[in-house]
């Protein structure tokens, strides 16, 4: 067990969305703990989805410079690049688990990083994919 964990986009977004204060606190703790313990992992996909969401989709939208600043701060987490091999692995995962391609790409990035846990609101709580346990940290909020 590596103790590393992958943080899905929705967790990152909630950390920046003051419309959900309970989720914001929980999400920020996951991110800050991941930075402090060098255990938190995200991917280029997560950063891309995060940028679009906080500049276009949340109520209190971020400016592009503010969003870029937040992305620079998030680079203190380990960031997985998307490449050909990751895409091919995601396609296999999609077929194996019947997930969306984008969720499969998240699982593939978590697998590449040797993560034990995947924090996500989108995937089934306590479901395991390739031995990686999905946890919805907002389940009791």
Annotated domain spans of the chain? 5-135
78: pLDDT strictly greater than 70: yes
Residue among 43, 97, 45 nearest 75 (CA):
43
Give the Cα separation of 102 and 72 in Å (integer): 23
Dump pLDDT digits (tens) for 87-129: 999 999 999 999 999 999 999 999 999 999 999 999 999 999 9
| Average pLDDT taken over every residue of the chain | 96
**Res. 2: pLDDT tops 80:** no
DSSP 53-89: IIIIISSSPPPHHHHHHHHHHHTTSEEEPP-HHHHHH
The CATH fold assigned to 5-135 is Rossmann fold (3.40.50)
pLDDT at 141: 78
pLDDT of residue 1: 57
pLDDT digits (tens, 9 = 90+) for 37-53: 989 999 999 999 999 99
Q: What is the pLDDT of residue 55?
A: 97
């Amino acid at each position: 067990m590596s103790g590393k964990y992958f943080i899905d986009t929705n967790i990152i977004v909630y950390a920046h969305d003051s419309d959900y204060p309970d989720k914001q606190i929980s999400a920020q703790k996951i991110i800050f703990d991941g930075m402090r313990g060098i255990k938190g992992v995200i991917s280029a996909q997560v950063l891309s989805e995060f940028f679009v969401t906080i500049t276009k989709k949340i109520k209190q939208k971020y400016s592009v410079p503010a969003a870029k600043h937040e992305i620079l701060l998030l680079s203190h987490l380990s960031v997985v690049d998307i490449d050909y091999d990751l895409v091919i692995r995601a396609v296999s995962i999609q077929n194996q688990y019947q997930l969306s391609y984008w969720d499969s790409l998240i699982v593939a990035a978590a697998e590449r990083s040797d993560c034990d846990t995947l924090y996500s609101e989108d995937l089934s709580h306590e479901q395991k994919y390739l031995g990686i346990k999905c946890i919805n940290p907002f389940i009791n909020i």
